[in-house]
A and B are shown apart, each in its own frame.
Chain A
């Protein structure tokens, strides 16, 4: 009796959420799929015209799409890779016992708390080619022989943006990994000490394997974030070909080119790419689970 009433109440409680989800996600997504098969402009100046798979066929040979995809992959690989290594190092530092540990934990929260747009602007100022503090310190210490226009040099601009993202996102990585480290019981290290294992051996044979679940979750979150990157790139360099990501290119097709049909096809492509990554990771996680 109670359970029937519970189920009815549960439906009632979930219903408003389901309606909102259908409206903010379901309906727009359906529109995106629908218009990806049409030739249409976003202001509907002309009547949309059904063109079948033409948008998708164009996408396959669109050099701008290919460039944006490549930029996104490079950005994702380098930023997530560096964030993982630095995040792990910081997590290990904060996890060890020393005076001022709380201060370090507080300090690393600051980059996380700063809005992405603000962090992009801050770094744009710091990387300024004449008055930027990076150039000032770099030339004073002799690391840079002359002042460098980081954001105007096509070879340096993507690495510079990756560095900004690493600064901003490493704390999140470190916090997730720290939570993982705190779940590892400390007595296994005592046992390893007694057995005479060095700290280095303990890290590779105990810490890293036991941390793998937390590491995989953190990697998934950061990879999905990096694949859809928009803010930091658009604020720092706009639609510059050397840096524009899939999301930046997608907005450009939709808003700057007003191309609702092709832009929608790009949106679907991004969705598919992200789904492929999710499936790959899920299979990998499944593999990790089976090994236990």
Chain B
């Protein structure tokens, strides 16, 4: 009897813990969403409601009417998109060579790639600044895309090399027996098999570039090439006392919802990709 009671208590405590973990994880984002749908007087209340009543879309209208937020979104899409695309193309070629072909300095190259993933971005800030000025790429899409390769490229190579290594040898050998060249083998046989890996890797690289702040903050002026993280961080009112929290939350939700949806849709693969990138070290 007491043993049964103890089991019930343990079960209840366990589920209380589970509920706590879920609330802790989800509540801050829920609060941002709620805040973005409240009119300013409901937002700045000492007794705020925990549901979006009264409801308004005016914060979202402010975001797009006020600053150049639409432009910032397009900038982010272009910069993160091209950085990802270039990294995937270069990454597939290198990863195939590193994971599949006879390549004597393979370990040296892999060490360089690994070192770059651990590299503090801030350590090349001054050098990159000077270089972008020299190349006339300061405050341009090209400059940001170029500097983002510093972290997207080593990441894609590292993860994709893992994928290529995991593929069965027989397929490749069969292609060679049929007289295919290594390049044909890569394009016709290996690449289709790495499809899911490419999607996951591309997604993770895109998220990294989409979220990047330090380079975007330092290498852009004005709204010409400014990306959304910089825009959100610098959203200000007329004075420090008038921070437009409603609009900031609306902008935050706009930037985050696509990411959250993508992550939830691809969650199995993302978890696999993340752990592959980290654990296979």
Contact = CB atoms under 8 A, between A and B. Distances in A.
B7 interface: no
A90 B22 CA distance: 10
Contacts of B249: 121-122, 125
A16 B93 CA distance: 9
A5 interface: yes
A103 B22 CA distance: 8
B25 A107 contact: yes
A126 interface: yes
Contact of A113 (B90, B124, B153, B259): B259
Contacts of A188: none
A104 interface: yes
Contacts of B271: 109, 175, 179
Contact of A114 (B29, B146, B150, B153): B29
Contacts of A123: 28
A10 B263 CA distance: 34
Contact of B129 (A42, A119, A271): A42
Interface in B238-281: 245, 248-249, 252, 255-256, 259-260, 262-264, 267, 270-271, 274-275, 278-279, 281
Contact of A228 (B22, B25, B112, B122): B122
A31 B275 contact: no
Q: Give the residue among A108, A114, A227 with the most B Cβ atoms within 10 A.
A: A114
A131 B211 contact: no
B122 A267 contact: yes
A109 B213 contact: no
Interface string B119-145: 111111111111100000000000000
Contact of A251 (B18, B24, B119, B122): B122
B46 A104 contact: no
A258 to B, nearest CB: 11
Nearest to B33: A122
A107 B22 contact: yes
Interface stretch (A57-65, A189-197, A200-208, A216-224): A216-224
B278 A217 contact: yes
A131 B123 contact: no
B45 interface: yes
Q: For the side of the interface on A, what is the size category?
A: 35 or more
B150 to A, nearest CB: 5
A16 B157 CA distance: 12
B137 to A, nearest CB: 11
Interface string A107-143: 1111111111111111101101011010010000000
A28 to B, nearest CB: 3
Contact of A9 (B101, B146, B278): B101
A266 B207 CA distance: 29
B113 to A, nearest CB: 8
Contact of A131 (B46, B109, B125, B131): B46
A117 B47 contact: no
For chain B, what secondary structure do more than half of its interface residues adopt (helix, strand, loop), or is it mixed?
helix
A114 B102 contact: no
A17 B122 contact: no
B131 A31 contact: yes
B225 interface: no
Contact of A93 (B18, B102, B122, B259): B18
Contacts of A103: 22
Given A93-B18, A122-B29, A128 B245 contact: yes
A100 interface: yes
B25 A7 contact: no
24 contacts: A5-B181, A7-B104, A13-B97, A18-B109, A21-B153, A28-B128, A93-B18, A108-B21, A108-B25, A109-B270, A113-B207, A114-B29, A121-B252, A128-B245, A130-B44, A131-B44, A167-B28, A175-B271, A176-B278, A234-B233, A254-B126, A267-B125, A270-B123, A271-B119
Interface of A: 2-3, 5-7, 9-11, 13-14, 16-18, 20-21, 23-25, 27-32, 35, 42, 90, 93, 98, 100, 103-123, 125-126, 128, 130-131, 133, 136, 167, 171-172, 175-176, 179-180, 214, 217-218, 221, 224, 227-228, 230-231, 234-235, 246-247, 250-251, 254-255, 260, 263-264, 267-268, 270-271, 274, 278
Given A5-B181, A123-B28, A133-B31, 5 more contacts: A17-B153, A25-B119, A109-B267, A122-B28, A175-B274
Sort A-B residue pairs by CB-CB distance and give the 10 closest, nearest first: A28-B127, A31-B127, A10-B103, A228-B120, A10-B97, A115-B211, A179-B275, A113-B263, A10-B101, A117-B229
Interface of B: 14-15, 17-18, 21-22, 24-26, 28-29, 31-32, 35, 43-48, 90-91, 93-94, 96-98, 101-104, 109, 112, 116, 118-131, 146-147, 149-150, 153-154, 157, 176, 181-183, 207, 210-211, 213-214, 217-218, 229, 232-233, 245, 248-249, 252, 255-256, 259-260, 262-264, 267, 270-271, 274-275, 278-279, 281
